A and B are shown apart, each in its own frame.
Chain A
Amino acid sequence: MVPSLIIYGLINSVALALIALGFSLTYGISRVANFSHGALYVVTGFAAWLLLNRVQLNYYLAVFLAVVLISVIGASIYRLALIRVRGMPLLEIIVTFALGTAALEALRFFGFFGSNYSLPPLFRGGVTLLGVPVDTQRLAVVVIGGTLVFILWLVTHHTRVGLAFRAMAQDEQAAMMLGIDSDLMATWSLALGAALVGLSAIVLLPLSFIATESGANILVSAIAVCILGGLESTAGVIVASLLIGYAQILTVAYLGPHYQMIVALLAILVTLIVKPSGLFGKQKELEERV
């Protein structure tokens, strides 16, 4: 039992990190809590499905175009809607939540419901690790998740755009004084955040199926990870994903699957009470000290 808990706990944790990375990146740079995050995940799945099954594109081209499309949608959300309410956090949340809900309801309206929509796995076959069978797609989740975190670190530390992102994250007004276009960077952050959640959809959806109902779950998972880890911290996302991922697996194993859903919600609640800035967050650190 222990090896399977270790292996599947890790897979669950990396899946959570994949889901939360985009949300954290967008918030870290632009301070926009993108509540359409779950909807973007679902839309990517359906876009890839349509390109694959209706347009009959090659699999890799279909998923690539789906990710590009979702990043364009992410950028459009900022340019067309958020730019008008920038700096008003409550309105930003309302706008993104409304857009996400509208997108999911529109999908339902056009008949995208039921369990008829699924993406084929990127990789087939499986291996046995420590006596536990693991399919290649799940191993790919771990590898792709790790690679994405590394690429994100490279981009934010060794490219001009990445450095501009970090400057924005540290002090937006100072960054603007240095000639960094705040709106452009925020647009990029929404686009990148959307691309990341789109990528997570492409990697994770072959393990399940595409369902509009999962939008809410994805959003809650992303928020739970980001609040526990610290809203703008990539390191926090990784640590929080491991904590919540393993807590979920252990809960299922020893308390029963019925309580699995509570873990993420409990993480949000406890963090907000004990340390509102999260494990690695700096957003409310000063208020906490005071």
Chain B
Amino acid sequence: MKMKTFRLLLMTGLAAGCVLLAAASAFSQQKGQPIVIGAPLSTQYLYGWDAQRAMLLAVEEINAKGGVQVGNARRPFRLEVLDTRDLEPGVPLSEAMLVVEKLILEKKADVLMGGPVRSEAALAAMDLISKHKKVSILTTGSLTPAYHRRIGENYSKYKYLFRITSEAGQLAKEAVDLFESLKQEHGFDQIFIMVQDVAHARAISDIVSKTLGSKGWKVLGSEVYPTGALDYSTGLLKARDQKAQILFVWMDHPEIAILVKQWKDLKIPALPIAGISSAVEQPGGWANTDGAVAYWVASPANAGNAPSNATPLTMKFYEAYKKRWLVEPEGYGTSSSYTAVYVLADAIRRAGSLESDRLVAALEKTDLIGVYGKIAFDPKTHQVIPSYNPKEGAVGTWFQWQDGKRVVTWPATIAMGKIRIPPLMSPSKGATK
């Protein structure tokens, strides 16, 4: 009898324990199961580590406020970053593909964010991500127009893919508008182009050459340098001999630091304007080049990557990043990666689910003010809608190194100063005080 009672009690206890465990597990899944953001980033390069830092900052801020509302539960974000090494010369694209697959299959990422960073790798990953029906928001690196064009051409296949940062076509348009403003103000009409041999940079070189040619500019030369090139003297001297007034450079590899030094050493009398160019964008650019970067103009793509008052959130983000990482927002990929986490949180809240199709529908209806203006996606191509007015769309930013500081000089809507012309340029070439 005693044994029977004991067995009965034991069985009841075990059953109750199982029920409690199941309930606790379900409760924890509903309450605290983290939402995994998988970030494939080239973490040893500026456009990788700055995106990682910015995402982590946003994740920490959101988690500190209790996480994201998903249906009836609040769930925190968890960031899983893996190094794609896709910005390193000589590393095959397959490395980045493996990382993307690992994030999806092993790390169980709910959403992908960040990269792959190199355009070629991002394009190659499109099919893989779509096959797994994972929502992906590109925030850094890949600028090729082919990315959003492909989404537009095959929406049903690629509808899970979004890009929240600028792209080559928009950046080329900004560059041309900037050159036109310099033409009006200083009379410049001769340009020499030097770009890196990567898809987005070649695309920008082509677009800028054609557009400027049709606007009466003389495009004196357009040179393509392999990734990792260590000497630019011949190209620079060509630009000097042909009397270029603007040197337009587009290189995202760190070796652009060499070009900056050579521009100064060779005393090239042309205003250097660089697009996405890591060593010029970074807050440490001045110290790293021993001041040779003075007068260089650069675009870190989106506002917020250099100090300005584009939106009320811009300097708030700027200061928060500085406080967290002890450095100013470092360049292209910073403000966009930070904003993307908030955009995702907003979409998850509205969708009430992490189910990909519902998330896609919610992201397509995004309409919020971010660090660099109003964030909304083109419904057909999922490309963030650009504008020069931060109240109407995502606004770009171009700054110049002046007295050791990055001063935003263009577009006029967010400018904090005016472009200065290098003293080497004689008055006949349009120099101003």
Name the interface size band of chain B. Answer: 35 or more
Give the contacting residue for B254; candidates A114, A126, A248; CB below 8 A: A114
Interface string of A235-257 (1 = CB under 8 A from B): 00000000000001100110011
List residues of chain B with CB within 8 A of the CB of A126: 265, 267
Whether the Cβ atoms of B44 and A114 lie closer than 8 Å is yes
Segment touching A, from B209-217, B229-237, B380-388: B229-237
Whether the Cβ atoms of A256 and B89 lie closer than 8 Å is no
Q: Does B288 contact A (CB under 8 A)?
A: yes
B358 to chain A, nearest CB (A): 39
List residues of chain B with CB within 8 A of the CB of A252: 231, 234-235
- The complex places the Cα of A108 from the Cα of B87 at a distance, in Å, of 14
Q: Does A98 contact B (CB under 8 A)?
A: no
List residues of chain A with CB within 8 A of the CB of B237: 1, 4, 8, 132
Q: Name the residue among A135, A138, A257 with the largest chain B CB count within 10 angstroms.
A: A257
Give 28 CB contacts A-B under 8 Å: A1-B237, A1-B238, A4-B237, A8-B234, A113-B45, A114-B45, A114-B46, A115-B46, A115-B254, A115-B255, A115-B288, A118-B257, A120-B290, A138-B265, A208-B258, A208-B261, A209-B288, A211-B255, A213-B89, A214-B228, A252-B234, A252-B235, A253-B234, A253-B238, A256-B224, A257-B223, A257-B226, A257-B229
Whether the Cβ atoms of B289 and A118 lie closer than 8 Å is yes
Q: Does B90 contact A (CB under 8 A)?
A: yes
Whether the Cβ atoms of B261 and A133 lie closer than 8 Å is no
Q: Does B282 contact A (CB under 8 A)?
A: yes
B228 to chain A, nearest CB (A): 6
Q: Does A73 contact B (CB under 8 A)?
A: no
With both beta carbons as reference points, the residue of chain A lying nearest to B90 in the complex is identified as: A216
Q: Does A5 contact B (CB under 8 A)?
A: yes
List residues of chain B with CB within 8 A of the CB of A217: 228, 230
A208 with B238: in contact, given A133-B267, A256-B223, A260-B226 (CB under 8 Å)? no
Interface string of B181-212 (1 = CB under 8 A from A): 00000000000000001000000000000000
Q: Does B119 contact A (CB under 8 A)?
A: no
Whether the Cβ atoms of B279 and A115 lie closer than 8 Å is yes
* Chain A residues in the interface with B (C-beta under 8 A): 1, 4-5, 8, 11-12, 108, 113-116, 118, 120-121, 126, 132-133, 135, 137-138, 207-209, 211, 213-214, 216-217, 248-249, 252-253, 256-258, 260-261
- The complex places the Cα of A38 from the Cα of B289 at a distance, in Å, of 23
Whether the Cβ atoms of A207 and B261 lie closer than 8 Å is yes
List residues of chain A with CB within 8 A of the CB of B265: 126, 133, 135, 137-138
List residues of chain A with CB within 8 A of the CB of B231: 12, 248, 252, 260
Those of B3-53 within 8 Å (CB) of chain A:
44-46, 49
Whether the Cβ atoms of A208 and B226 lie closer than 8 Å is no
With both beta carbons as reference points, the residue of chain A lying nearest to B43 in the complex is identified as: A113
- The complex places the Cα of A258 from the Cα of B46 at a distance, in Å, of 24
Whether the Cβ atoms of B225 and A257 lie closer than 8 Å is yes
List residues of chain B with CB within 8 A of the CB of A137: 265
Whether the Cβ atoms of B258 and A209 lie closer than 8 Å is yes
B196 to chain A, nearest CB (A): 10
Give the contacting residue for B226; candidates A4, A5, A253, A258; CB below 8 A: A258
- The complex places the Cα of A163 from the Cα of B244 at a distance, in Å, of 55
B235 to chain A, nearest CB (A): 6
Q: Name the residue among B223, B238, B256, B265 with the largest chain A CB count within 10 angstroms.
A: B265
List residues of chain A with CB within 8 A of the CB of B106: none
The 5 closest A-B pairs by CB, nearest first: A115-B254, A135-B265, A113-B44, A208-B258, A252-B234
List residues of chain B with CB within 8 A of the CB of A8: 233-234, 237
- The complex places the Cα of A213 from the Cα of B258 at a distance, in Å, of 14
Q: Does B139 contact A (CB under 8 A)?
A: no
A244 to chain B, nearest CB (A): 13
Q: Does B404 contact A (CB under 8 A)?
A: no
Other A-B pairs beyond A126-B267, A208-B230, 12, CB < 8 Å: A4-B237, A115-B279, A118-B288, A135-B266, A138-B265, A209-B258, A209-B288, A217-B228, A252-B235, A257-B234, A260-B225, A260-B229
Those of B280-299 within 8 Å (CB) of chain A:
282, 284, 288-290
With both beta carbons as reference points, the residue of chain A lying nearest to B230 in the complex is identified as: A208
Those of B237-277 within 8 Å (CB) of chain A:
237-238, 241, 254-258, 261-262, 265-267
List residues of chain A with CB within 8 A of the CB of B46: 114-115
With both beta carbons as reference points, the residue of chain A lying nearest to B44 in the complex is identified as: A113
Q: Does B95 contact A (CB under 8 A)?
A: no
- The complex places the Cα of A103 from the Cα of B354 at a distance, in Å, of 44
Q: Does B355 contact A (CB under 8 A)?
A: no
- The complex places the Cα of A8 from the Cα of B254 at a distance, in Å, of 22
With both beta carbons as reference points, the residue of chain A lying nearest to B231 in the complex is identified as: A12
A113 to chain B, nearest CB (A): 4
List residues of chain B with CB within 8 A of the CB of A208: 230, 255, 257-258, 261
List residues of chain A with CB within 8 A of the CB of B279: 115, 209
A108 with B44: in contact, given A120-B290, A208-B230 (CB under 8 Å)? yes
Those of B66-98 within 8 Å (CB) of chain A:
88-90
List residues of chain A with CB within 8 A of the CB of B267: 126, 133
List residues of chain A with CB within 8 A of the CB of B88: 213
Give the contacting residue for A5; candidates B45, B234, B255; CB below 8 A: B234
With both beta carbons as reference points, the residue of chain B lying nearest to A9 in the complex is identified as: B234
Whether the Cβ atoms of A115 and B226 lie closer than 8 Å is no
With both beta carbons as reference points, the residue of chain A lying nearest to B280 in the complex is identified as: A115
- The complex places the Cα of A224 from the Cα of B99 at a distance, in Å, of 34
Whether the Cβ atoms of A115 and B278 lie closer than 8 Å is yes
B33 to chain A, nearest CB (A): 32
- The complex places the Cα of A26 from the Cα of B114 at a distance, in Å, of 46
Give the contacting residue for A211; candidates B224, B232, B254; CB below 8 A: B254
List residues of chain A with CB within 8 A of the CB of B238: 1, 253
- The complex places the Cα of A92 from the Cα of B42 at a distance, in Å, of 33
List residues of chain B with CB within 8 A of the CB of A216: 90
- The complex places the Cα of A120 from the Cα of B287 at a distance, in Å, of 11
A116 with B229: in contact, given A135-B265, A253-B238, A257-B235 (CB under 8 Å)? no
List residues of chain B with CB within 8 A of the CB of A116: 282, 284, 288
With both beta carbons as reference points, the residue of chain B lying nearest to A211 in the complex is identified as: B254
B327 to chain A, nearest CB (A): 10
B269 to chain A, nearest CB (A): 10
- The complex places the Cα of A217 from the Cα of B258 at a distance, in Å, of 15
- The complex places the Cα of A133 from the Cα of B234 at a distance, in Å, of 12
With both beta carbons as reference points, the residue of chain B lying nearest to A259 in the complex is identified as: B226
List residues of chain B with CB within 8 A of the CB of A108: 44
